[in-house]
Structures are given as C-alpha cells and as structure tokens.
A and B are shown apart, each in its own frame.
Chain A
Amino acid sequence: DVKVTQSSRYLVKRTGEKVFLECVQDMDHENMFWYRQDPGLGLRLIYFSYDVKMKEKGDIPEGYSVSREKKERFSLILESASTNQTSMYLCASTKRGLAHTEAFFGQGTRLTVV
C-alpha cells in the first residue's frame, strides 16, 4: 500500500539540463514537502506546499522551483542542474490542521548531476 510515490529512484542528468522530480500521494493530504538529504547535514527543506497552487520557500530554495497544479502531485524543478545539486531528494506529505499528524515519505530519488 504505497502512499507517497516518487517518479524515479535514480537519475543521472547533465549540467544545465532542466530536471523534473515528481511526487504523488494518495492520502488526500494538503501539505507536501520537498527535502534534500546530504551526509552530515540531515534533511533540509527546499519547498513546502500547503494547498493547490500554494507554495512557500524552505531553507534552501535557490536553484529550485516547484509546481502544485493538483492536490495529489507536487513537482520539484531544477531549472538548470548543477553538480552541487547532486543529492538524495525526498518528498513527504502530511494532513493539514492536525498538529499530531504522521508524516509519510517517498522512497527518495538519488540524483547525480555530471
């Protein structure tokens, strides 16, 4: 019973390419998140969306944009991929309005930019 699905497990892209990472959840959650995870730094928030077409910058939004046209789908876009964006990317979702709501994560996308 997969709840949060990321489109790719592994991705290799060239410097300068436009990259799309897709995330879909089937739990009707309002909140969706994109994180990147790097050794020694833990998970860092890139962007957050609390509703369709709504977005909020996280701690490290530079070089990224997002799109949320439908409630179930949250896309992360690297407009021009660079080698310093090589990382593990994780999507998560939670229900809005409940402080004690469980977070569900996708399986992660390991992106390598060469």
Chain B
Amino acid sequence: KNEVEQSPQNLTAQEGEFITINCSYSVGISALHWLQQHPGGGIVSLFMLSSGKKKHGRLIATINIQEKHSSLHITASHPRDSAVYICAVLPTSGTYKYIFGTGTRLKVLA
C-alpha cells in the first residue's frame, strides 16, 4: 500500500461543476503540498498546508491532521483547470524527502 493515496485517479467534469480531489496518507507529516501539472510536464505548487484551510481564487485546500486526510476543491471549474493534481507530503522523519501520490487526472469539458 502506498503511503500517499489519491482519489479518484481520473475525473471528468462539466464546466462549472464543483470538484473534489482527496488525499490520504499514513505517515506523520510536517507539511502537505498540492501540486498541479499541465500537459507538457511543468509542475506548479498550488498550496502548502500544515493545518486548517487555505483558499486561492477558485481553489480551496483543507487538511485534517488527526484523520491524515486532505482535500482539494475547485469551484466553478473551467477547461483550463484540466491537469494532473498531485498530493505530496513531507514526513516528520527529519529529512526533506517528499512522498508523492500518483496524481489525479482532471479533465473539464466545455
């Protein structure tokens, strides 16, 4: 079993829909990142969380440390949100080695 699990693996939505992507992890962490990867490869960091909730535009990320779970929400989805979303955790083991989920491929149809 992977230490970081994402669901769903693939998601297709209609423009305007509310989208939720989930991330569960099994290790103690000091931080969790949500990353976005567009076709072509480059990765952009969307959020870094250690507790609570963060919002940036139409994106909202939440984390529940006790339940070892985080969600990424996209409100009023748009075709330009189509990308792979990756959850990455930084364990509290004292290194800087991130553990990555395998990603959620999102396609938003116009």
Interface of A toward B, CB cutoff 8 Å: 9, 31, 33, 40-45, 48, 50, 58, 88, 90, 92, 94, 96, 99-110
Interface of B toward A, CB cutoff 8 Å: 30-31, 33, 35, 40-45, 48, 50, 86, 88, 90, 96-98, 100-103
Instruction: Among B40, B100, B101, find the residue whose CB has the most chain A CB atoms closer than 10 A.
Output: B100
Please give, as numbers and ranges, the residues of chain A lying within 8 Å of B102 by CB-CB distance.
40-42
A90 vs B86: C-alpha distance when bound (angstroms): 14
Q: What residue of chain B has the Cβ atom nearest to residue A92's Cβ? A: B43
Please give, as numbers and ranges, the residues of chain A lying within 8 Å of B45 by CB-CB distance.
102-105
A104 vs B45: C-alpha distance when bound (angstroms): 7
Q: How far is the CB of A3 from chain B (nearest CB, A)?
A: 11
Q: Across the A-B interface, how many residue pairs have beta carbons closer than 8 Å?
A: 61
A31 vs B86: C-alpha distance when bound (angstroms): 21
Tell me if B44 and A105 are in contact (CB < 8 A).
yes
Q: How far is the CB of A50 from chain B (nearest CB, A)?
A: 7
Q: How far is the CB of A30 from chain B (nearest CB, A)?
A: 9
Q: A43-B100, A50-B96 are in contact. Are A99 and B31 (CB under 8 A)?
A: yes
Please give, as numbers and ranges, the residues of chain B lying within 8 Å of A96 by CB-CB distance.
96
Tell me if A42 and B100 are in contact (CB < 8 A).
yes
Q: How far is the CB of A111 from chain B (nearest CB, A)?
A: 11
A103 vs B97: C-alpha distance when bound (angstroms): 11
Q: A41-B102, A100-B30, A100-B48 are in contact. Are A107 and B97 (CB under 8 A)?
A: no
Tell me if B41 and A100 are in contact (CB < 8 A).
no
Tell me if A102 and B48 are in contact (CB < 8 A).
yes
Please give, as numbers and ranges, the residues of chain B lying within 8 Å of A50 by CB-CB distance.
96
Q: How far is the CB of A62 from chain B (nearest CB, A)?
A: 17
Please give, as numbers and ranges, the residues of chain A lying within 8 Å of B42 by CB-CB distance.
105-108
Q: How far is the CB of B36 from chain A (nearest CB, A)?
A: 10
Please give, as numbers and ranges, the residues of chain B lying within 8 Å of A88 by CB-CB distance.
41
A42 vs B43: C-alpha distance when bound (angstroms): 13
Please give, as numbers and ranges, the residues of chain B lying within 8 Å of A48 by CB-CB distance.
96-97
Please give, as numbers and ranges, the residues of chain A lying within 8 Å of B97 by CB-CB distance.
45, 48, 58
Which residue of the partner chain, among B31, B44, B103, contacts A100 with CB atoms under 8 Å?
A: B31
